[in-house]
Amino acid sequence: MARALKNKNTQKIKPSAEIKPKSVPEVEGSLEAYSKEVLQALIKEGLSTTPNNFSLYFDRLLEEKSQNTKKNIMSILDSEKSNDDENSMVLEQSLKQGFSSVKNILSITANLYKNMVLMTKILDKKKQELQDNSDSGIAKNIVTSLENDILKLSSIIKKQSFNIKDMYDKTAKIVKNVENETIFDNQYGVFNKRNLMTKLEREIEQIGRFKHKSSLIMIELSRDLKDNISNEKAIMLMTKTIARLLLKTSRRSDIVAHYGNGIFAMLLKHTDIESAKKASERLCDLVSNSNFFLADKEIQLQISIGITDVTKDYSVEEIVVSSMDAIEKAYESTSEDYAVLLRDAQNK
């Protein structure tokens, strides 16, 4: 009994095990679970797990999720959203507004100078009338004195006008240089052609390195619709509506740009042709279901889309031409508002 008691009392007490925090279980549809899924998809595709690739696949896979999952994840992203391109757009808009203000100042100054010239002519006319119809020396002295004052004021205004013009020319040159580096199309609220070509060239380089697939689609307000509407202002409003819908339906990784003459482009990164076709179908449906009213008449909007693949084997210009040719092919189709034209198929 005593031995047993001794053994009991001399039993070594084990140090308490380290308390580890319980891992938080991943809830289905949570950002954590989805991020792991994106990472696994990248590894499965054999792509480098760079921030850029992760962002692209993050957007791409999100399209296949339920509305609740999308809403949950997008709410988290929106809370910390910071877009440098949007900040650049705001800066460019401010610069253009400043440029407009300078033009207005010059215009006002020019009008002021014209008025002074007109006043001088009027005084010359009145002086001549006094010389013809009056012998009053006092009246002539008054007119002469007034004329001298006006000439002095006119000289001052002319000098100031030259100074303002010089300032205007320097400012215009600066703004023009900035405008040549802009990425934003102020008319339609999307990126401009310059930015599109730069991003497209960069995407071709990325495809060469990582071997993924991307697509380019060109979008145009239906020519049949434009031919039936003679109101240019209405066509402009319709085109702006198309631009807004493109922004609404695009992913964060997509590049939406105005290529020129009311034709828009969407660079769909990490998107193969089949996925680009599905995106085009959704876009056509979205546009056709949008209401546009011209006076009391409701007009159904319609677009034509050209789709092509972005590949490292062809230049930016060749890929753009291919997508433009695809638009022409779409007009020939009687069943679809979009058409696909592959670079490889053109050269076989």
**Mean of pLDDT values over 81-110:** 72
pTM equals 0.68
> Is residue 343 pLDDT above 80, yes or no?
no
Other Cβ atoms less than 10 A from the Cβ of 281: the count is: 14
Beta strands in the chain, from DSSP E residues, in sequence order? 184-185, 190-191, 214-221, 255-260, 263-268, 291-294, 297-300, 303-310, 338-340
Instruction: Enter the tokens of residue 57.
Output: 């696949």
Whether residue 301 contacts residue 229, with contact meaning beta carbons closer than 8 Å, is answered with no
Q: 292 or 339: which carries more pLDDT confidence?
A: 339
Spatial CA neighbour of 258 closest among 191, 314, 159: 191
Whether residue 57 contacts residue 269, with contact meaning beta carbons closer than 8 Å, is answered with no
Whether residue 165 contacts residue 158, with contact meaning beta carbons closer than 8 Å, is answered with no
Other Cβ atoms less than 10 A from the Cβ of 182: the count is: 19
Q: What's the number of CA atoms in the CB half-sphere (13 Å) around residue 298? A: 5
Instruction: Enter the tokens of residue 268.
Output: 């769909």
Task: Please enumerate in sequence order all residues whose Cβ is within 8 A of that of 200, keeping only pairs 6 or more positions apart, or say none.
Answer: 216, 255, 267, 310, 316, 319, 320
Q: For residue 79, what pLDDT band results from cuts at 50, 70 and 90?
A: low
Signed CA dihedral, 139, 129, 122, 120: sign only: negative
Q: Which residues of 129-138 are buried (b: 16+ CB within 10 A; e: fewer)?
A: eeeeeeeeee
DSSP 290: S
pLDDT digits (tens, 9 = 90+) for 171-192: 777 777 777 778 889 899 999 9
Beta bridge partners of 151: none
Whether residue 292 contacts residue 299, with contact meaning beta carbons closer than 8 Å, is answered with yes
Instruction: Identify the pLDDT of residue 157.
Output: 78
Q: For residue 204, what pLDDT band results from cuts at 50, 70 and 90?
A: very high
pLDDT digits (tens, 9 = 90+) for 228-248: 888 999 999 999 999 999 999
CATH superfamily assigned to domain 187-346: Reverse transcriptase/Diguanylate cyclase domain (3.30.70.270)
Whether residue 201 contacts residue 318, with contact meaning beta carbons closer than 8 Å, is answered with no
3-state helix, strand, coil in the chain (%, to 5): 65, 10, 25
